[in-house]
Amino acid sequence: MASRASLTFLSSIFFFLLSLQLCAGQTSNVKGVYWFPGSEFPVSSIDSTLFTHIFCAFADLNSTTYEVTISSSNAAQFKNFTQTVQQKNPSVKTLLSIGGGNAYTEDFAAMASQASRRKSFIDSSISLARSNSFHGLDLDWEYPNTTEKFTNFGTLLTEWRAAIAAESRTSGNETLLLTAAVFRSSDYYSLNYPVQAISNSLDWINAMTYDYYGPTWSPSSTGPPAALYSGSSGQINGDAGIRDWIQSGLSANKIVLGLPFYGYAWRLVNATNHGLFAPANGTALTADGSIGYAQIRNFIRENVTMAIHNGSVVTDYTYYGTTWIGYDDTQSVSTKVSYAKAKGLLGYFAWHVGADSNWALSQTASIAWGS
Ligand SMILES: *[C@@H]1O[C@H](CO)[C@@H](O)[C@H](O)[C@H]1NC(C)=O
Ligand SMILES: *[C@@H]1O[C@H](CO)[C@@H](O)[C@H](O)[C@H]1NC(C)=O
Ligand SMILES: *[C@@H]1O[C@H](CO)[C@@H](O)[C@H](O)[C@H]1NC(C)=O
Ligand SMILES: *[C@@H]1O[C@H](CO)[C@@H](O)[C@H](O)[C@H]1NC(C)=O
Ligand SMILES: *[C@@H]1O[C@H](CO)[C@@H](O)[C@H](O)[C@H]1NC(C)=O
Ligand SMILES: *[C@@H]1O[C@H](CO)[C@@H](O)[C@H](O)[C@H]1NC(C)=O
Ligand SMILES: *[C@@H]1O[C@H](CO)[C@@H](O)[C@H](O)[C@H]1NC(C)=O
Ligand SMILES: *[C@@H]1O[C@H](CO)[C@@H](O)[C@H](O)[C@H]1NC(C)=O
C-alpha cells in the first residue's frame, strides 16, 4: 500500500500533468487577421509568419436547414486554406468564420431560437471545420439586437462549447477553437451580451473596435473611423469599448483588439477646412467610402500629399482637394497594439489581410506586440 507521502507526490504529479494539458489547449497570444475571397488576394501570398491565427471568411448559413455551408465558388480555396497558409508557418492556426457584416442577421436569430436548429448549426459547423482542416470556428453574427436574441446567443455558445468538447473526446483530435466577433458589451441597442456564457464558452472575442465614424452613417462631418481614445467632446472610441468589456466581467485575456487595415473617404464641404470633424458631405472615392490601406498609400504618393497623425485620439488622416480619408497608419497601429499588450489583452486582429501595403501594418503590429 502506498504511503500518504507518495500518494501526495503522485497526486501532485497528476495535477501538474493536468495543468500542462490545460495549458496546451490554451492560446497564449493572438496575432490574427481575416482573409476573404472577394479581396482577390491569393491565399498563397499571405505572409503567415506575421500571424498566429488566420480567419477564413465567410461560411454561410442555410436558412432552411440551419446548417453551415461553404459556397461552391469558395469550396476549393477554403478546403486548401490551412495547408496553404501552413507552408510558410507550420504552427499558424486557422478558423472558419461564419456570417459576416450584416449577413444572415435574421437567420442567425431564427437558428439560435430553437434547440433543433442550434443542433443542426453546431453539428454541421464542427464537421465542416474538420472536413476542411480548420483549427477552429468563429461566429460573426452582426448583431443580436433584442434581449431574447442575446439570451439565445448565450445558449448557442454554451451548447456549441459542449459539442466541441465532446467531439474532441470522441475523435481524439485537438479541441477546436471557438471565437466570436462582437461589438461592445453594452450600450449597443442598450442591451448586454451574455458575458458569462461568452467567458465560459469562447476562447476569446474579436472586439470590432472600428467603424465608429464613416461617411455613410456620419456623412456631415469627417471623423476618426477607429479612434482609440475620445477627443475633448467624448466621442466613441476603442478604449471605452474595451474597458466596457472588462467591466462587464470578461477577463482581459479573452479580449482581442480589432485593427482596421482600411479607412473611409469623405467629401469635404470646403477644401480649406480639412481637420478632424470638418464639415463633410457624404462619401468620396468609393460607393461607401471604404478604401484599403494600400490604396490610401497610393493616394498619398500619387497626389503628393501628406498624412497627419493625431496621437491624442490615435488616428491618421490625409486629404487632397475635397477628398478626406481617415484611417490607421503604422503609428496608430503600433500605439494600439502596445495598448492591447499593456492592458493584458490576448492580442489583436485585423480586417483584412489583402488591404495591407507590402506588409507594413502587419509587420508593425507583430513587432509592437513582440513574441
Ligand atoms: C439550403 O438547403 C436546402 C436543402 O438542402 C437546399 O435545397 C437549398 O438550396 C439550400 N439553400 C441555399 C441558399 O443554399
Ligand atoms: C492546395 O495547396 C497546395 C499547396 O499550396 C497546392 O500545391 C495545390 O495545388 C492546392 N490545390 C488546390 C486544389 O488548390
Ligand atoms: C434588429 O435587427 C433587425 C435586422 O437587422 C431589424 O430588422 C430590427 O428592426 C432590429 N430591431 C431593433 C429592436 O433594433
Ligand atoms: C483527427 O484524428 C484522426 C485520428 O484520430 C486523424 O486521422 C485526423 O487526421 C485528425 N483530424 C484532424 C483535423 O486533426
Ligand atoms: C487631435 O484630435 C482631437 C479631436 O478632434 C483634437 O481635440 C486635438 O486638438 C487634436 N490634436 C492635434 C495635435 O491636432
Ligand atoms: C472655405 O473656408 C475658408 C476658410 O475658412 C473661407 O475663407 C471660405 O470662404 C470658405 N469657402 C466657402 C465656399 O465656404
Ligand atoms: C451635398 O451634396 C448635395 C448633392 O451632391 C448637394 O445638393 C448639397 O448642397 C451638398 N451639401 C453641402 C453642405 O455642401
Ligand atoms: C488623388 O486624388 C484624387 C482626388 O481626390 C482622387 O480622385 C485620385 O484617385 C487620387 N489618386 C490616387 C492614386 O489615389
Q: Render pLDDT for 89-130 as a digit per residue (tens, 0 to 9).
A: 999 999 999 999 889 999 999 999 999 999 999 999 999 999
Q: Decide: 130 in ligand 4 pocket, CB within 6 A.
A: yes
The per-residue pLDDT for 192 is 84
Confidence at residue 234, expressed as pLDDT on a 0 to 100 scale:
83
The sign of the dihedral angle between the CA atoms of 100, 101, 106, 112 is: positive
Name the pLDDT band for 8 (thresholds 50, 70, 90): very low
pLDDT at 4 over 80: no
Is 360's pLDDT higher than 60? yes
How far does residue 189's CA lie from ligand 3's centre (Å)? 9
| pLDDT grade for 28, boundaries at 50, 70 and 90 | very high
Within 8 A by CB and 6+ apart from 44, the residues are 84, 87
Measured between alpha carbons, how far is residue 12 from residues 1, 6, 7 in Å?
18, 10, 8
3-state SS class at 15: helix
Q: Is 177 left (phi over 0), alpha (psi -120 to 50) or beta?
A: beta
Mind listing the pLDDT tens digit for each residue in 308-328? 999 999 999 999 999 999 999
Residue 331 pLDDT more than 60? yes
For a pocket test of ligand 3, which of 145, 150, 188, 191 has the largest count of ligand atoms closer than 8 A to its C-beta? Answer: 145
Write down the H helix ranges in 94-236.
105-112, 115-131, 147-171, 195-201
- Please report the atom of ligand 1 found closest to the CA of residue 64: 1
Phi/psi region, residue 19 (left: phi>0; alpha: psi -120 to 50; beta: rest), is alpha
Mutation choice for ligand 1 from 64, 106, 121, CB with most ligand atoms inside 8 A: 64
| Atom 3 of ligand 7, residue of closest alpha carbon | 281
Helix axes 147-171, 105-112, angle to 10 degrees: 70
Q: What's the pLDDT tens digit per position in 157-212?
A: 999 999 999 999 999 999 999 999 998 755 555 568 999 999 999 999 999 999 99
Per-residue pLDDT at 361 = 98
Which residue from 249, 261, 256, 260 is spatially nearest to 341, judged by alpha carbons? Answer: 256
Mean pLDDT (the chain) is: 92
pLDDT band at 42 (very low <50, low <70, confident <90, very high): very high
Is 302 catalytic? The answer is no
As given in the structure block, the three cell numbers for residue 111 are: 437558428
State the catalytic residue, choosing from 40, 67, 106, 142. Answer: 142
The mean per-residue pLDDT over the stretch 279-299 comes to 98
Provide the pLDDT confidence category of residue 23 given band limits of 50, 70 and 90.
Answer: very low
Which DSSP string do the residues of 337-357 spell out, in sequence order?
HHHHHHTT--EEEEE-GGGSS
Q: Find out whether 314 and 227 touch, Cβ atoms under 8 Å.
A: yes
State CA 164 to chain mean position distance: 21
The pairing of beta strand 93-99 with beta strand 53-61: parallel
Provide the pLDDT confidence category of residue 34 given band limits of 50, 70 and 90.
very high
Query: Is 79 in contact with 37 (CB distance < 8 Å)?
Result: no
Question: What pLDDT score does 187 carry?
Answer: 55
What average pLDDT does this structure show over 242-256? Answer: 94
What confidence score (pLDDT) does residue 3 get?
43
* Shortest-distance ligand to the CA of residue 281: 7
Q: What is the pLDDT of residue 20?
A: 42
pLDDT at 297: 98
SS3 371: coil
Model pLDDT for residues 51-88, shown as the tens digit of each residue:
999 999 999 999 999 999 999 999 999 999 999 999 99
